[in-house]
Amino acid sequence: MKKIFLVASLLSAMTISAQTGASKITIHADQGKTQISKEIYGQFSEHLGSCIYGGIWVGENSPIPNIKGYRTDVFNAIKELKVPVLRWPGGCFADEYHWMDGVGPREKRPTISNNNWGGVIEDNSFGTNEFFNLCEMLDCEPYLSGNVGSGTVEELAKWVEYITSAGNSPMANLRRQNGREKPWKLKYLGVGNESWGCGGNMTAQFYSDVYKRYSTYCREYDGNKLFKIASGASDVDYNWTETLMKNIGNKMEGISLHYYTCKGWEGSKGSATKFDKNDYLWTISKTLEIDDMIKKHIAIMDKYDPKNKVALMVDEWGTWWDQEPGNHTALYQQNTLRDAFVAALNLNIFNKYAERVKMTNIAQVVNVLQAMILTEGPKMVLTPTYHVFNMYKVHMGATYLPLEVTSDSLTYNKTKFPIVNASASKDSKGLIHITLTNVDLDKDQKVTIDLPNVKITKVEGKILTAKTIDSHNTFENPNVVVPAVFKDAKITKTGLTVNVPAKSIISLEL
């Protein structure tokens, strides 16, 4: 009885519409006016599971090869991505983090319990100096998440002073005592995280005042300019955005948004590697919901900020599956070609809203949720999501090119979505970059790309695909899902024709 119901519900959830196998994209290369902020390709690192400890930081005395305590393999892999911004120390951890615990001689730092993430022991060996030095070495912007939930205004004010003051001030002197003469640069400052939840369970109205109080005392020392980000909504909480826009307005430079491709907060979220076609279509359809959500949050922002002064920062996004079975640290999950699609679709959407969306941070960089990199002791493997970021990094700082896509569609639970999804940009050298996905698991798409007024002389491409949608890289087989050279794009009189194989992600450079 149960079985029959399951089959029936699967059939009603998933419909495949008539397929032509052909799609058309028109790219308006002469109409680009918005720069894709490079921070859209940002990352997030929290004191959670083995993201920091074991993932990024092993300490100078570790047998795992390291550069001043940062594991060499992970450092080099992140560097290759040209990560523009790294968010730290949380997440939920941030609102219980007292930065003074993490400065000074390591052997004297207190050991605390990480209450948000399983009560594991946190020895504070990775703290402010370790994080800011890492960002300098990576040449990326640090994005600091301040403790508003359980901290004090004074504590956050002093943290900003410790990091950025060049003067003869108590916190600048403490920094010097801890071995760092020059201040670091701090631009992005998050004033709380998920203040509606783990960050203090506040109402939007109450948080608006708390934000103003905290941010008043975060001073700009010695020419350092802060870009303050208010803790924003989750998903479709438009009231949160509305209340903050109304009450805080341009006393903030950015407002955040969190959206996970997640089945729900209670119970099973599904396996990262064992899923069927129905789960896959759910994933794609759930991911694409962010498009409309961003549009609606932006519409509210436009109402209060028609001059587009406040940016939308999607500072947490990605897939959230069940923790991998076995002896793994919190929120450690595998990453398949399905996750690669989630990354590719999200990045295409973020590019589209580049006028308002100025930063996004996938959760998280190593060993947590939709990670770029997985580690186990000395072993390291790059995930399919890593490869998407590497293929898409060409869009960073380029000019967004408006485009229209006409394609076949798939339907999940009465929601129709296109099989082909794309984004295009023009970089400072005049090269045009196109990223394309075909989410159909079975059918290739013949894509005609029109580029009015563009003379194409050369096209080069890369493709990310695999035998099956659940394909993934392991420590034993790290090259199951890796990019390959793509040659099936032909120059035509009006642009290109591209044969996009089923379940593939393609990047083209013209």
Cα three-residue angle 164-169-171, rounded to 5 degrees: 60
Contacts of 204 (CB under 8 A, 6+ apart): 196, 239, 240, 242, 243, 244
Biggest CA-to-CA distance, the chain: 76
Under the binding rule (CB under 6 A), the answer on residue 92 touching ligand AHR is yes
320-379 positions binding ligand AHR, by CB under 6 A: 363-364, 369
The residue among 5 and 265 lying less far from ligand AHR, judged by its C-beta, is 265
Q: What CA–CA distance (Å, rounded) separates 471 from 334?
A: 10
Closest approach, Cβ 221 to ligand AHR, in A, equals: 28
- Answer yes or no: 316 catalytic: yes
Contacts of 147 (CB under 8 A, 6+ apart): 94, 95, 96, 97, 98, 99, 155, 156, 192
Q: Are 255 and 301 in contact (CB under 8 A)?
A: yes
Closest approach, Cβ 193 to ligand AHR, in A, equals: 5
Quick one: CA dihedral 354, 356, 358, 362, positive or negative? Answer: negative
Between strands 141-146 and 112-114, the pairing is unpaired
With contacts defined by CB under 6 A, name the span among 89-97, 125-133, 243-251, 395-403 that binds ligand AHR.
89-97
Cβ atoms within 10 A of the Cβ of 113, count?
12
The residue among 32 and 199 lying less far from ligand AHR, judged by its C-beta, is 199
Closest approach, Cβ 313 to ligand AHR, in A, equals: 13
Residue of 49, 91, 142, 384 interacting with ligand AHR (CB under 6 A):
91
Under the binding rule (CB under 6 A), the answer on residue 193 touching ligand AHR is yes
The b-or-e profile of 424-435 (16+ CB within 10 A means b, else e) is bbbbeeeebbbb
29-68 positions binding ligand AHR, by CB under 6 A: 46
Cβ atoms within 10 A of the Cβ of 376, count?
16
Under the binding rule (CB under 6 A), the answer on residue 192 touching ligand AHR is no
Q: What CA–CA distance (Å, rounded) separates 40 from 360?
A: 5
Tokens of 346: 């999200």
Side-chain-facing half-sphere of 401: CA atoms under 13 Å: 26
Closest approach, Cβ 332 to ligand AHR, in A, equals: 12
The residue among 50 and 425 lying less far from ligand AHR, judged by its C-beta, is 50
With contacts defined by CB under 6 A, name the span among 11-19, 87-95, 277-285, 429-437 that binds ligand AHR.
87-95
Among 60, 194, 404, 460, the one annotated catalytic: 194
The residue among 46 and 253 lying less far from ligand AHR, judged by its C-beta, is 46
Among 39, 96, 122, 316, the one annotated catalytic: 316
The residue among 94 and 434 lying less far from ligand AHR, judged by its C-beta, is 94
Residue of 39, 141, 161, 316 interacting with ligand AHR (CB under 6 A):
316
Closest approach, Cβ 502 to ligand AHR, in A, equals: 32
- Answer yes or no: 96 catalytic: no
Could you give the residue numbers annotated as active site? 194, 316
**Residues near ligand AHR (CB under 6 A):** 46, 90-92, 193-194, 316, 363-364, 369
